[in-house]
Structure 1
Amino acid sequence: MLKRISVVTTVYNGEPYFDRAIPSILNQTYTDFEWIIVDDGSTDATPQLLAEVAKKDARVKVLSPGRLGFIKALNYAMENTQTEYIARQDFDDTSSPERLRLQVEFLDAHPEVGVVGCNYIVEDENRNERYVRMPATEHDQLIKTMAKCIPFAHTLVAFRKQAFLQAGGYPDMQDVEDLRLWITFAKHGWLLASIPETLGTHWVYPKSFWHQNFQYSQRQKQLAGVQWQAIRELNLPLWMGIYPIGRQAYLYAPNQLKSFVRRFLAGSKEKTLEYSKSN
């Protein structure tokens, strides 16, 4: 009998993070899922450790196609799913126990919604910040958010495989692949939504794969370009171009000002939490 939802994860040299995604997904209150994990050519003990996890839990399916790179590995994982819904999960992030249950129930109840996000905790070791990010919940507001920033945490969304296939999969482009995908979902007529509950934690840290492979300035410039794409292709007001233009100034703002800029100028809804290196 087919499962209802596939959790999709790629990992490269994830040995230090086996205490994060794996227990948080395997301890979900919703149990009717398969977990597709693509080992993207790891050179540490990740393959052996993943084999042990898969041996203990039949829901875990480990695929080892060799080194593909993040986007190709994601699309490869998606090709091997056999469910109606997909939940993204990064190996070094965590999901709360109720995440899959709530996202499956939401997609069941809202067949017009292509992708659903959630509130989430950000543990930012680069800026010594800890806060809850709370995306808008309604489609119209989320569309407008795409002119300002990425509306969801990619690691904590769930979406319909049908919408993903209509979009042609993840675009084979380095970085900002999630925002590009949500734009295409919207162009195909799918609605976007977010559950107003905190359903996971996303870590930002200097040693992450992303920070080692993409310069911060490069990321901001690419993101500004995709923001312009959202404005053009989703028929947003041209005045919203102030946000991608302003991203260039945000790039050079000191860390102490970035929170102010996000919250009061870009309108990001966030709740500050106490920061500790032990979190």
Structure 2
Amino acid sequence: MVVPETKPVISCIMPVYNGDRWLKIAINSILQQTFTCFELIIVNDGSTDGSGDIIDAAAARDTRVTVIHQPNQGIVAALNAGLAVARGKYIARMDADDVAISTRFIRQLAIMNADPRIMILGTGSRTIGPDDSSDGATAPETTEKIRCILGNNKTNRFPPSILQVLHPTTMMRTDCIRAIGAYSEEFEHVEDYDLYLRASSAGLIAEIPEILMLYRIHGNNISVRKLHEQEQNAARCDVVRVRDNRQARGLRRQRISGPTFAGWVGIRRYRRERQLGLAQTRALYDAGLLALKGALKTSPSVSLHLLARCAWYLALDLGPWRASGKPGGTGSSARDQDKAFS
């Protein structure tokens, strides 16, 4: 049995709802971290499968595990319940279906301790399928210097630009997350993106470009099932948070018409679907037409930005590098595709 220090440095929060299929692997990948001064707060959000028994068994064998059993209230309530009892200087996120590489905490901690400007730090990840049983415990120790990508946050104009990191890879400063009001239920399925936009006003978002998380893709991922709903809510979040940031800084409010907003939703959906090989160029034309239609009742800088983005994506789709896999090709990341607008 591992006995924790008096006060943990890291509080890892894992919300669980009917996650018994991969839950043991996820828990073990945290308990086998090379950095050991942490607490693992598992919030059982009203599971009806065997998750509760698995969680209680983990707590019985390792005193670093704290368990919260609550009626089903959704992921935001579960995350905030964990945050309310967290004792660590840092919050680490973990999902019940993913696998953390054993050196994840120690690599993130080194960066967070060295640079107080960083409020949220993500890591690189590799996708795995539903049948991958790796426990993440075999990652070799390394003395290689840690590289870090700092986000170029621009949240005072629409559409905002931030470094978007994979939520379950993040480590965050506890005092910052509490100061901004924790997670919000205002924008369903994009509570992480909303948190990033609010936290970016306090400091930097960054990422370690190392694979320190195995991200499991299966048929029940929210990012797959609720893609269109996510992008609709993320676009609403963009409007509200930019408005709030501009108001707080005494900046003039930007005008965004209904057609312009619909065009931005279309662009966001296209960008996501493009990564899955689903997006059609026609959808991008439609988004551009909506941006044009709403231009007279929209701030010129907003309309120009959206039209420029449409033109950029069209160039990527129709250019000679379309299938090259180079930045801009179909194999590139959203970050590569959007580098002209960061």
Tell me the TM-score normalised to structure 2 length. Answer: 0.65
Higher mean C-alpha displacement, 59-68 vs 257-266: 257-266
Task: Tell me by how many angstroms 1:162 deviates.
Answer: 0.7
1:247 partnered with 2:316: no
Aligned ranges for residues 68-147 of structure 1 at < 5 Å? 68-123=73-128, 137-140=149-152, 147=160
Distance 1:111 1:93, change over 3 A: same
Q: Structure with the greater relative contact order (CA < 8 A, sep ≥ 6): 1 or 2?
A: 1
Find the aligned partners of 2:270 and 2:93 in 1 and give their Cα distance.
31
Cross-structure match for 2:332: 263
Which of 226, 236, 239 aligns to 1:225? It is 236
Find the aligned partners of 1:184 and 1:12 in 2 and give their Cα distance.
26
Cross-structure match for 1:128: none
- The unaligned stretches of length 5 or more in structure 1 are 126-135, 270-279
8 Å CA contact retained: 1:147, 1:244: no
Distance 1:85 1:16, change over 3 A: same
Specify the code of the residue in structure 2 equivalent to 1:138.
L
Provide the secondary structure at the position in 1 that maps to 2:210.
Answer: strand
1:44 partnered with 2:49: yes
Which of 169, 172, 190 aligns to 1:176? It is 190
Task: Tell me by how many angstroms 1:193 deviates.
Answer: 1.3
Find the aligned partners of 1:215 and 1:8 in 2 and give their Cα distance.
23
Task: Tell me by how many angstroms 1:186 deviates.
Answer: 1.5
RMSD of aligned residue pairs (Cα, Å): 3.2
Task: Tell me by how many angstroms 1:104 deviates.
Answer: 1.3
Distance 1:230 1:120, change over 3 A: farther
Find the aligned partners of 1:6 and 1:224 in 2 and give their Cα distance.
31
Cross-structure match for 1:3: 8
Superimposed CA distance per residue, residues 246-277 of structure 1 (whole angstroms, 9 cap, x where no aligned partner): 224447769436694573776259xxxxxxxx
Specify the code of the residue in structure 2 equivalent to 1:111.
P
Q: How many residues align?
A: 252
Task: Tell me by how many angstroms 1:215 deviates.
Answer: 3.1
Distance 1:20 1:229, change over 3 A: farther
Task: Tell me by how many angstroms 1:168 deviates.
Answer: 0.4
Find the aligned partners of 2:125 and 2:154 in 1 and give their Cα distance.
16
Specify the code of the residue in structure 1 equivalent to 2:229.
Q
Cross-structure match for 2:143: none
Provide the secondary structure at the position in 1 that maps to 2:102.
Answer: coil
Provide the secondary structure at the position in 2 that maps to 1:114.
Answer: strand
- The unaligned stretches of length 5 or more in structure 2 are 1-5, 131-147, 247-253, 255-260, 280-324
Provide the secondary structure at the position in 2 that maps to 1:31.
Answer: coil
The percentage of aligned residue pairs carrying the same residue is 25
Tell me the TM-score normalised to structure 1 length. Answer: 0.78
| Larger Rg over CA atoms | 2
Task: Tell me by how many angstroms 1:20 deviates.
Answer: 2.8
Task: Tell me by how many angstroms 1:199 deviates.
Answer: 0.7
Find the aligned partners of 2:97 and 2:163 in 1 and give their Cα distance.
19
8 Å CA contact retained: 1:9, 1:36: yes
Which of 49, 57, 64 aligns to 1:59? It is 64
Which of 214, 218, 225 aligns to 1:205? It is 218
1:27 partnered with 2:41: no
Task: Tell me by how many angstroms 1:18 deviates.
Answer: 2.5
8 Å CA contact retained: 2:108, 2:121: yes
Cross-structure match for 1:191: 204
